[in-house]
Structure 1
């Protein structure tokens, strides 16, 4: 494990004068190009709000098993709800974490065979009856992080020397947002896979961590510990931004190592992508940036699609085979 620290960026500079804005954009360009991960401070979301979300995670995962299973993800064709330890796969291997997933609160569509399968992702969330305040708190939190992510995405457009609104048409009907509360149980095993090495599929990811380490980022110098930084979010670039920039921006492999025996680690991960019916634009970069674009580093075993809904559904089917078997049996042979 290398001792290299991820960059720390203060987004409040983006709202200052021209000099401070340019300073932030320069820092963002370096972080995005060289590592693809950074800490974000100055975002205006209080530590009190952050701690409330982590406390909700602790309360949910402390519920009796039957109450968690009542909102099991396998009940939802929209991939919302609870997944027990060992219920999710990364790169075909079992992850040692339990989680609770929500997305935008929507009405399910009346599907027919002429509609693309990814429209099955649209629908309502499941909510535990024992925590009646959870729905309001998490949906409000999701909205706050959506707004912060849109601001960041506009900054990334400027880094790429595009108009600040370059991605606006892919968000005009509402971004695809996906959030999960996560608990990693401790283990006596060495280097147990909390979640395996992977890249995130969307535009951006924001992660709120408790006080325990575990998140690791693969850099040119090896794996780097993204240790918790009080008040900061860990931000990383997803594959959609890598696609849009033809590989100029970097979607980076990362993983979570399980905490030691006797320790529980809690986090909240928020993922923002374009709306499901969008097609990711391939930006026309200026010559000096285009010359440095390496093309998206697509895994041949996990091809990327420019159509957002298709890409999202592919990832969901691979990660949650039980939901895939129950609700998407006709597709499980082709993902």
Structure 2
């Protein structure tokens, strides 16, 4: 086990070139860490810089201004702003604030009309250019995620379209803009984000130069510092489930920000379709049960139901009051905020 994460060039996967080298590197990284950096991802540096500029402008506003677009106004779409300390990991507040976003679905979309959780229109703050930058970023990173899944399929000696054909032709895409304040945290908040694994297939993360991400390995916790020109990728619980533990979802956390400058990160969660029933890949033997060592004491292989069932059971603990209201069907439809 090394004390750093590998960097994989995925440009051949994006452009249809020889994918043998990135597929082999992905396999090694998923077996060793479940975390790696990607370059050649096709996300323009200018787009990242513009989104970072706009995000800093948003978070620099007074809290009362930002709370004009609260998550409670997003309805079951689960979109909007939460203030620092408002999100929980393992029941404890994380010291970050953020804006929940995702695929932009119109109110007349069938899933939105049905009140399907995590589907709907975004709540767009009154900040010129933010909507355009976010949607362009989601589109660019989603292209990279599709390419990366082709590489993961090949790394498992599966057809390149294995995941797209079964789970991600219409993926659930969730996007966050997080700000980790440099001001001191209250005593109850011990981490920027506490130890956890991600719930879906893939997470692709941009982090600003401040750093703070840590990854848990068999040898202990290691740093995952920013590397210019790259995104950080990690596999989630559903890929762990599909591969019967051959590829594990890896715990990670974020240190409190003591840099003196607010820290930004942009995680995009590229997940199976909400209604998909995630099944193990045939031919892969089951790994040993790891629930005793997992951060939440749960097995990703034991649940029954759709990916949406699994996801809502998890995210409902992040915002307990909102989660209970969504599951009970008592949250009103998304409310336009102007």
- Residue 120 of structure 1 corresponds to 117
Q: 2:141 aligns with which of 133, 139, 145?
A: 145
Q: Deviations over 1:260-299 (max 9, x none)?
A: 16221111110010111111131113xxxx3474467574
Following superposition, the deviation at residue 5 of structure 1 comes to 1.0
Q: Distance in 2 between matches of 1:173 and 1:24?
A: 22
Asked if residue 83 in structure 1 is aligned to residue 82 in structure 2, the reply is yes
Q: Residues 141-196 of structure 1: CA distance to partner in whole angstroms, max 9, x if unpaired?
A: 11111111011111111111111111123446521000000100125569931010
Counterpart-to-counterpart distance in 1, 2:163 and 2:110: 29
What's the counterpart of residue 262 of structure 1? 260
Aligned to 1:322: 321
Tell me the TM-score normalized by structure 2. 0.86
Q: Matched residues in 1 for 2:203 and 2:290: separation?
A: 18
**2:209 matches 1:221:** no
For 1:306 and 1:152, the matched residues in 2 are separated by 26
The 5 Å alignment of 1:30-45 reads 30-45=28-43
Is there any run of 5+ residues in structure 2 with no aligned partner, and where? 331-338
Which of 61, 64, 89 is matched with 1:63 structurally? Answer: 61
Within 5 Å, which residues of 2 pair with 1:3-42?
Answer: 4-14=3-13, 15=15, 18=18, 21-42=19-40
Measure, in 1, the Cα distance between the counterparts of 2:279 and 2:150.
14
Q: 1:163 to 1:296 in 2, by over 3 A?
A: farther
**What secondary structure does 1:142 align onto?**
helix
Deviation at 1:302, TM superposition (A): 7.3
Matches within 5 A, 1:125-274: 125-129=122-126, 131-171=127-167, 174-188=170-184, 192-260=190-258, 262-274=260-272
Report SS of the residue matched to 1:121.
Answer: coil
Kept after mapping to 1: 8 A contact 2:244/2:285: no
Residues 302 and 105 of structure 1: CA distance in aligned 2, closer, same or farther (over 3 Å):
farther
Structure 1 length-normalised TM: 0.87
**How many residues were matched structurally?**
320
Aligned to 1:250, the other structure's residue is in SS state: coil
Structure 1: gaps of 5 or more residues? none
| 1:65 Cα deviation after fit | 2.1
Q: Distance in 1 between matches of 2:86 and 2:217?
A: 29
Deviation at 1:259, TM superposition (A): 1.3
Structure 2: distance between partners of 1:263 and 1:182: 14
Mapped contact 1:79–1:316 kept (Cα < 8 A): no
CA distance 1:3–1:211, change in 2 (3 Å) = farther
Cα distance in 1 between the residues matched to 2:278 and 2:305: 5
Deviations along 1:292-323, whole A, 9 cap, x unmatched? 74467574457655511112222221111232
Work out the CA distance in 2 between the residues paired with 1:306 and 1:39: 32
Q: Aligned equivalents of 1:327 and 1:44: distance in 2?
A: 36
Q: Structure 2: how far apart are the matches of 1:180 and 1:82?
A: 10
Alpha-carbon RMSD across the aligned residues, in angstroms, is: 2.7
